[in-house]
Each structure stands twice: as structure tokens, then as C-alpha cells.
């Protein structure tokens, strides 16, 4: 339990450090390199478009990250009412989290990178956090590849060029052909690639579970769920303002399900 609580502190710090390093690289390496293009138009320069797109992706990723932390899943005692509290068996969608030390409604899993449980109120924000984090990482990787290609005069036309970049750069770094800042960017390329793929895969997995009306906790426990149309399952998580939630970080509406249960 001590190791889990320590991970609950270290993982968010790790994510915030990666986000800070990415922001610094974008502002002080990638964007200045794009401004050096003399043929670019001033109004729609690559630096301006790149900065606007990166700002949009990072603002949505960090905004939903904060909302995942603020929107803790509804506690069973607060959401089920007096009748459910007196029941002998709690609903199968509830689970006691040892890290958070509480019973949460519609529990999916405990996310150590946010330090919070994912459940009824913050599932939408968690999915959007994974989506925009993957997009921001993969976009940063593309910008980093363009920077390394221009600085080191490396062509990535061959599919295996990215896979062989790291071992080749390590040997050149110890020989003095690659600077420390360039080697750091190359290491970040692989880190962005790994985080981007992991978040994208997790986002797709969560969406598949939502379409089926299940949570990860129910899948692990083998709990059967009642069959419902996939549109209702999506609306329960994303709400009616789902399109606005895709563009702007906003609070979830998952608490409506608790109000319906109390009636």
C-alpha cells in the first residue's frame, strides 16, 4: 500500500515534468526554427500555425487533466440514497479503492497519473485527457522529427530511419558529432512516441467499453451488464454537450445518473 501511495504522488509529478519539458522545447527550439524560414508568409507562417495548434492540444490535455482531478467520482453514500445504503449488497458497479479509501460509484479504475479514481463523473474528462495527450505527444514528435531532420540533415523518407535513429545518435553523441541538446530531443522523440501510442490505445479501449456499457472493474470481476443501445451508453458518459466538450475542457454531466437513482 505504501508503494501505491508513493506512485500516486510520483506519477502526476512525472506527467507534469514531461508537459513542462515539452512546452520548453516547443517555445525555445521548434518555434524559433520555424521562424527562420524566409519564404513563409507573415500572417500564416508555420510558426504561428504550429503554435496555435500546439496551444489548442496542450490546453485541452491539461484542462481535462485538471477536471479529472477535480471531478472525483460520486461517493456511494452521497449518490445512492438512504434505501441503497441500507441494502445488504452494494451495486455491482461500485468498488472500494484502497488508495483513495472510499467506495465510488461506477468505478472503472484508479489512475495514478491523475492520482484519482475514474468513475461516474470524470470518465469523459479522462477519455478526452487521453485523446489530447496522445495528439499533443504525436504532434510534438512530428515537430521534433522536423527539427532533427533540419539540424542533423537526416532524411526520414525510409520507414526504418526512425527506428535506427536512437542507436546511431548514441554512437555519434559519444564521438562528439551530436550535441547534448540534440541528443535530448532525440530521446524525447521516443518518449513522445511511446506516450502517444499508449494514450491512444487506452482511449480506444475505454471507448469500446463505453459502447458496451461496461467498466474495466466489471470486466475484471466478470460482472454481466444489461444490454442497452450504444447511443444511450455514449450519452450517459459524454452528455448532450459532447461536441462542446471535444473542443473546450468542461465539467462532466455524469452526476445526472445519480439524480435519477435518487428519484
Q: Which residues are catalytic?
A: 111
CB 206 within 8 A of CB 185: no
Which residue from 216, 209, 259 is spatially nearest to 234, judged by alpha carbons?
A: 209
Mapped onto helix, strand or coil, the DSSP state of residue 240 is coil
Helices (DSSP H) in the chain: which residue ranges? Answer: 2-25, 31-35, 46-70, 76-85, 123-152, 165-175, 180-211, 216-221, 230-238, 242-247, 256-262
CA 147/CA 152 separation, integer angstroms: 8
Handedness of CA 218, 224, 225, 229 (dihedral sign): positive
The closest of 61, 94, 87 to 248, measured between CA atoms, is: 61
Q: Which residues pair with 104 in a beta bridge?
A: 75, 95
Between CA 110 and CA 97 the distance in angstroms is: 7
Amino acid at each position: 500500500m505504501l508503494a501505491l501511495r508513493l506512485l500516486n504522488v510520483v506519477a502526476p509529478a512525472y506527467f507534469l515534468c514531461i508537459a513542462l519539458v515539452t512546452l520548453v522545447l516547443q517555445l525555445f527550439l521548434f518555434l524559433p526554427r520555424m521562424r527562420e524560414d524566409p519564404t513563409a508568409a507573415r500572417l500564416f507562417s508555420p510558426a504561428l500555425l504550429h503554435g496555435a495548434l500546439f496551444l489548442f492540444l496542450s490546453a485541452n490535455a491539461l484542462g481535462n487533466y485538471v477536471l479529472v482531478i477535480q471531478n472525483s467520482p460520486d461517493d456511494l453514500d452521497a449518490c445512492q440514497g438512504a434505501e441503497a445504503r441500507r441494502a445488504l449488497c452494494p451495486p455491482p458497479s461500485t468498488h472500494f479503492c484502497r488508495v483513495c479509501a472510499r467506495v465510488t460509484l461506477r468505478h472503472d479504475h484508479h489512475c495514478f497519473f491523475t492520482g484519482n479514481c475514474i468513475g461516474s463523473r470524470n470518465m469523459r474528462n479522462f477519455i478526452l485527457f487521453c485523446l489530447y495527450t496522445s495528439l499533443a505527444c504525436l504532434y510534438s514528435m512530428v515537430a521534433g522529427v522536423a527539427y532533427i531532420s533540419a539540424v542533423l540533415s537526416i532524411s526520414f523518407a525510409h520507414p526504418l530511419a526512425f527506428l535506427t535513429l536512437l542507436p546511431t545518435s548514441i554512437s555519434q553523441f559519444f564521438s562528439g558529432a551530436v550535441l547534448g541538446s540534440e541528443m535530448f530531443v532525440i530521446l524525447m522523440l521516443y518518449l513522445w512516441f511511446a506516450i502517444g501510442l499508449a494514450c491512444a490505445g487506452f482511449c480506444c479501449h475505454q471507448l469500446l467499453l463505453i459502447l458496451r456499457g461496461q467498466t474495466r472493474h466489471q470486466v475484471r470481476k466478470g460482472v454481466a451488464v444489461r444490454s442497452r443501445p450504444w447511443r444511450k451508453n455514449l450519452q450517459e458518459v459524454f452528455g448532450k454537450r459532447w461536441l462542446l466538450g471535444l473542443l473546450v475542457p468542461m465539467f462532466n454531466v455524469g452526476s445526472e445518473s445519480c439524480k435519477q437513482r435518487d428519484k
